[in-house]
Structure 1
């Protein structure tokens, strides 16, 4: 049977990260399953070498406290009010100059210290400052399609979250004199038309814990990945992304019966979860249980006829046999589904170059650079784009 990729979900904003495929949903509560403690296997993993948890998630470091008291920050708050002043002090050009980095999820203090983080990290840091100023903070899940990325054989689904402040205003349209100020990290105005659902702080914490587990898993660090995933499930037993990550950890650790137990328990809570189904199908196939795997595969195909990376993988196969025209058509289908995925634009550029279309290659490589989400990919695409412009200037044709 054809091998399947492992699906995780990272809860981030903008174009970000979290393991499971259900990050941040606040709709119908999943069905109850087994007590979560019965799904853990602490004795199979070495004790964590560093603290695992989120007690310091929103804690302000001394540097953050000093920034709160700085003349520049206090002037923003004094002139614009707590909520708008905070947002401008953090994100206005010429202030902190934060860098977007989807490679890791950080707590508030670490995000501030490095001036970088993925979207979940930026939400956490913003909320930490808001809490210190006494602002009312509300977290929200934005109902967009997940953004997919790949790392070390894992397919990562990123879900978008943002936060809002409840602000008293004499100009508010509501009868109680309040209005909402929303802080979002999607491109300007892009999230405006999407439906949102409220998220509890407990769910944000679970997303953070689950992201840490997924990131450790992507680095091949199974021991810390287990403890972070365990903590995510323990913290919020209704957050199925944590179960999915825990099951993948067990599978990669060689504990296949435990992995199956976790996947099936989570599917009992949400039977149509496509990430869990995909991973259970792969697990059954790995054990040689072909009939069981195929039966679930038929069910998954009915729920998800065109899975993530479907056209992309076909495009890569076409590239291997130098079918650049076919690859181009397949990559264009993925770009239409996920226009902010830098990898799709990069490979579309490669296909265009194979066809001798240097102008189209430059255009797609520029889009790959624009949508890149880590310093490493930005540097790599920038170098490739400079090389392409130097060797194939505008008006030329690639050989």
Structure 2
């Protein structure tokens, strides 16, 4: 039986580094998520997210339609323009709309993806998004953990192009502002869920600032656009819990876990709530459901495994380390974790095998040296 006692509430954000399953769901029954606890205030409209002032539009269009660039496919022209534009770009954690990102020359990767969409729309280029499972970035503030997420932008070639195609022709270009050699491309992210990320990010800021009316209004906008986004619902449940309405928070957690594909972050947060109110039997029941959640991000399971290991739940940690390595067989960290768990469980032989695998997969000489030293210790313990 897995047993976790998390100290922080978890929010998933979109930034420069990973993510939950963003796909919308046809959810039944309908969720009663609204409340009179909060006052609705003005938040950005969807069209404002991708708005560009005329001067910013003209800068891009002048480049795109310049005679000297007409022998370059349109999607490549967009990629080239962005490559020049982001030279000296400040990758702050702020989530900006397209116009602010272009004006401030700054923003996180979601901001740049938004800017890419704004430019692509001006010239009729088709955009798609894909989630990338890569090592996450964590931030802690108060009682919240935010986990940043990474999204690739795929720009398709224009239809009926007059550009003469040479020997090499690419039907699309992938714009990835922080590519990772070990990142795994995950599921496609539809446009509604992509837009909801913007509102989720801003809501997380307002949660940290304890402006609950603003956070609620932003999440309401996100739900209106993508009603089944589980991470929006998770953030809404966190809002209700922080504001003292635990009954409403619990109803949302149960809805996510019983009527959607589930969410590791929502389940973790729900277990926190149950243990806070000493409903330990319920906590144990729901904790066992980690293994039933479909989440293709190996780093999510690796993180949970570390938490279980820290709580001396070595068998539970071992199960989760194995789940992580099954999804991403190249992750040396998962095999190192397995070796530690096997050692604590008294299985020295399997600990050695897992450690040998960690040595083989080590990404840096420093990691290889560390694992080799641990392997020697295991050899002496046999």
* Secondary structure of the corresponding residue to residue 99 of structure 1: coil
Matches within 5 A, 1:235-246: 235-246=225-236
CA distance in 2, matches of 1:109, 1:147: 27
Say whether residues 1:147 and 2:139 are aligned partners.
no
Matching residue within 73, 82, 86 for 2:74: 82
Matches within 5 A, 1:116-131: 116-131=106-121
Structure 2 counterpart of 1:105: 95
Matching residue within 5, 9, 32 for 2:8: 5
CA distance in 1, matches of 2:130, 2:250: 32
CA distance in 1, matches of 2:127, 2:58: 22
CA distance in 2, matches of 1:227, 1:260: 20
Q: For residues 185-220 of structure 1, what are the alpha-carbon distances to aligned partners after superposition, in whole Å with 9 as ceiling and x for unaligned?
A: 2237655xx334332221211121212212222333
Q: For residues 221-271 of structure 1, what are the alpha-carbon distances to aligned partners after superposition, in whole Å with 9 as ceiling and x for unaligned?
A: 222111111221221122111000000000000011000011111111236
Q: 1:335 to 1:251 in 2, by over 3 A?
A: farther
Q: 1:239 to 1:79 in 2, by over 3 A?
A: same
Matching residue within 6, 14, 17 for 1:15: 17
Q: For residues 114-146 of structure 1, what are the alpha-carbon distances to aligned partners after superposition, in whole Å with 9 as ceiling and x for unaligned?
A: 11111111011011011112222222223x146
Structure 2 counterpart of 1:294: 284
Structure 2 counterpart of 1:61: 53
Matches within 5 A, 1:260-339: 260-270=250-260, 272-300=262-290, 307-308=303-304, 310=306, 336=333
Q: 1:161 to 1:39 in 2, by over 3 A?
A: same
Matches within 5 A, 1:339-354: none
CA distance in 2, matches of 1:136, 1:307: 35
Once structures 1 and 2 are overlaid, which stretch shifts more, 299-308 or 216-225? 299-308
Structure 2 counterpart of 1:228: 218
Matching residue within 149, 169, 191 for 1:201: 191
* Secondary structure of the corresponding residue to residue 206 of structure 2: helix
Q: Return 5+ residue gaps in structure 2 as ranges.
A: 294-299, 312-330, 335-365, 367-382
Q: How many residues align?
A: 302
Q: 1:3 to 1:170 in 2, by over 3 A?
A: closer
CA distance in 2, matches of 1:47, 1:204: 23
Q: 1:184 to 1:56 in 2, by over 3 A?
A: same
Matching residue within 237, 249, 256 for 1:259: 249
Q: For residues 267-291 of structure 1, what are the alpha-carbon distances to aligned partners after superposition, in whole Å with 9 as ceiling and x for unaligned?
A: 1123652211111111122233232
Q: 1:263 to 1:69 in 2, by over 3 A?
A: same
- Does the 8 Å contact 1:148/1:155 carry over to 2? no
* Secondary structure of the corresponding residue to residue 66 of structure 1: helix
- Does the 8 Å contact 2:5/2:272 carry over to 1? no
Matching residue within 39, 50, 56 for 1:46: 39
* Secondary structure of the corresponding residue to residue 92 of structure 1: helix
* Secondary structure of the corresponding residue to residue 255 of structure 2: helix
CA distance in 1, matches of 2:60, 2:5: 55
Q: Return 5+ residue gaps in structure 1 as ranges.
A: 316-333, 338-363, 365-399
- Does the 8 Å contact 1:53/1:209 carry over to 2? no
- Does the 8 Å contact 2:51/2:98 carry over to 1? yes
- Does the 8 Å contact 1:139/1:198 carry over to 2? yes
Structure 2 counterpart of 1:386: none
Say whether residues 1:92 and 2:102 are aligned partners.
no
TM-score by length of 1: 0.66
TM-score by length of 2: 0.68
* Secondary structure of the corresponding residue to residue 13 of structure 2: strand
Q: 1:313 to 1:52 in 2, by over 3 A?
A: farther
- Does the 8 Å contact 1:6/1:248 carry over to 2? yes
Structure 1 counterpart of 2:370: none
